[in-house]
Homo-oligomer: A and B are copies of this chain.
Amino acid sequence: MTIPTHDPRDGSSQDTDITPTPQADVRAAAARADAVFRQLRDVSRADRATALRTIADALEADRADLVICAMAETGLSEQRLTGEVNRSAFQFRMFADAIEEGSYLEVMIDHAGDTPLGPAPDVRRMLVPLGPVAVFGSSNFPFAFSVAGGDTASALAAGNPVIVKAHSSHILTSRATFDVIHRAIVDSGLPADTFQIVYGQQAGVDLVQDPAITAVGYTGSLGAAQILISAIGERETPIPFYGELSSVNPLIVTEAAARARGAQIAQGLYASVTGSAGQLCTKPGVAFVPRTDDVIVPELVRLAAAAEPQPLLNAKIHESLFRIQGDLIASGGASALRASEPVGPGLGATPGILEIDASTFTAAAAEEAFGPVVVVVRYDTLDQLPAALDAVPDSLTATVHCEVDEAAGLADLVTDLQRRSGRVVFNGYPTGVRVCWAQHHGGPWPATNSQHTSVGVTAMRRFLRPIAWQSAPAVLLPAELRDDDASVPRRVDGVYQPAKN
């Protein structure tokens, strides 16, 4: 049995030569990853950084072919996918810089000495890689959250071998990306088994249950996550499951902002809701708009009416979108100002603009509709928002459009949004997540199930653990923990010391 590939642009399917990885092969891959993990500790940070940069270069070199392959499997545009390959390459380079800089090791040295509690031994601490990491990419980012994504990059950067489970929604793109990265890894002199791939849903379950796997990075639906979480629950040894799962991303427009720049907000919001056919985890799914507004909502409807349909990623997402839109109307009480409609022959969909009153808004109108649909919630006063927001599941992001002179008065609202999300966006849109040191891509359950981020430099920390060494002979310490090393920033006897180059 082989795994087919589907083209959402015309609804066609084709067989491939890719077969589901049998359990024995998954076990063998995990065993090889475990063996290679021991070799990887002899690879210097500099050599690991070089490998990551080689991967970035290789992705860019093969960008055109990768993009063509992904266009046929995802229906996403050439421009969008080209940007995504660039983002993946950028991410590998960012982690290369970070491991050279070395602060991610969190080196701390407390020399032996007298303390208020008596004489104390020398204690030194740093983070070390966890072990083989399993990575599950998402359907909606065939590069930046898939084989070449942030989980792969951060786990490799931290010094771990990685086994990715290819996403069935872009199986050929997964293999092609794997081949590019794998070749770059071998070309860099790293062991070949540093990076492996498995195919098929059962292989994913077998993977997370393998004793050699020490952590799982996952981006995708809550449903598939639950299958993996319960598979992990059957393990003898628990391991962390870092899941980025779902997000409704409430967006709030104040009356002043609506008055001052309604048309501009409508255009920005429309682009954020419909970009990549609305299939972004940070898409604003619920927009709180003042009842007095007579610009934003009509403009959203006008833009939606004028839009060409865009193909959705796969049949499941296509089917879900219309089912959930139906629920939002039937159970949630939203009315369709313009409903999203399926358009053949492929998996096309037009944008949908729904509307509901804040006073009748419930959780049934706040279900995540993955696709180009937004629910506008009309409110009278900002006082209504906390109760209305209680109906919205906690999210990756929350957004506020406001005017400068009213900002100070919104402190309580913003504090409330901080409690409900992992990133608060002002006068912008949550889509287009910047990849940088300060980024946090996470949020309270059900957005994610951990405190950690899957974007930004600190994503590495998910795949590291601390070890302390007490009274260790220098020769048995990692180089970065020796007194005569100053290649990384360190906290020595409680005081930060920059690296000396």
Interface residues, chain A, with chain B CB atoms under 8 Å away: 38, 41, 83, 86-87, 90, 97, 103, 106, 108-110, 115-117, 120-121, 123-125, 128, 130, 237-238, 240, 404, 407-408, 410-411, 414-415, 418, 421-428, 430, 434-440, 442, 444-446, 449-453, 456, 458, 464-473, 475-476, 489, 491, 494, 496, 498
Contact = CB atoms under 8 A, between A and B. Distances in A.
A475 B444 CA distance: 24
Nearest 9 CB-CB pairs, A to B? A108-B438, A440-B468, A125-B438, A407-B473, A451-B465, A440-B466, A423-B468, A110-B436, A425-B470
A466 B458 contact: yes
Contacts of A418: 128, 467
Contact of A434 (B103, B106, B110, B465): B110
Given A87-B117, A466-B442, A404 B130 contact: no
Given A418-B128, A434-B120, A476-B407, A471 B427 contact: yes
B439 A123 contact: yes
A466 B445 contact: no
A468 B422 contact: yes
Nearest to A442: B466
Interface centre among A109, A117, A470, A475 (most CB of B within 10 A): A470
Contact of A130 (B108, B115, B451): B451
Nearest to A451: B465
Given A426-B471, A430-B470, A436-B494, 20 more contacts: A87-B117, A108-B437, A110-B434, A110-B438, A123-B434, A125-B437, A125-B440, A125-B456, A237-B446, A240-B451, A407-B473, A407-B475, A422-B468, A423-B470, A426-B470, A438-B468, A438-B491, A442-B466, A453-B466, A458-B466
Given A436-B110, A437-B494, A458-B466, A473 B116 contact: no
Interface centre among A414, A415, A423, A473 (most CB of B within 10 A): A473
A427 B476 CA distance: 13
A86 B428 contact: no
B117 A410 contact: no
This chain's copy number in the assembly: 2
A418 B476 CA distance: 11
Contacts of A128: 418
B120 A436 contact: yes
Given A130-B451, A445-B237, A466-B458, A438 B123 contact: yes
22 contacts: A86-B116, A86-B117, A90-B115, A90-B116, A106-B458, A108-B438, A123-B439, A125-B437, A125-B440, A238-B449, A240-B450, A407-B473, A408-B475, A422-B465, A422-B466, A422-B467, A423-B467, A424-B472, A451-B465, A452-B466, A489-B496, A496-B496
Contact of A238 (B106, B115, B130, B445): B445
Contacts of A439: 110, 123, 125, 468
Contact of A415 (B41, B408, B411, B450): B41
A474 B100 CA distance: 32
B469 A110 contact: no
Contacts of A410: 476
Contacts of A444: 237
A87 B240 CA distance: 32
Nearest to A214: B444
A239 to B, nearest CB: 8
Contacts of A475: 407-408, 411
Nearest to A38: B415
A418 B470 CA distance: 12
Nearest to A97: B494
Nearest to A87: B117
Given A110-B434, A110-B438, A496-B489, A424 B465 contact: no
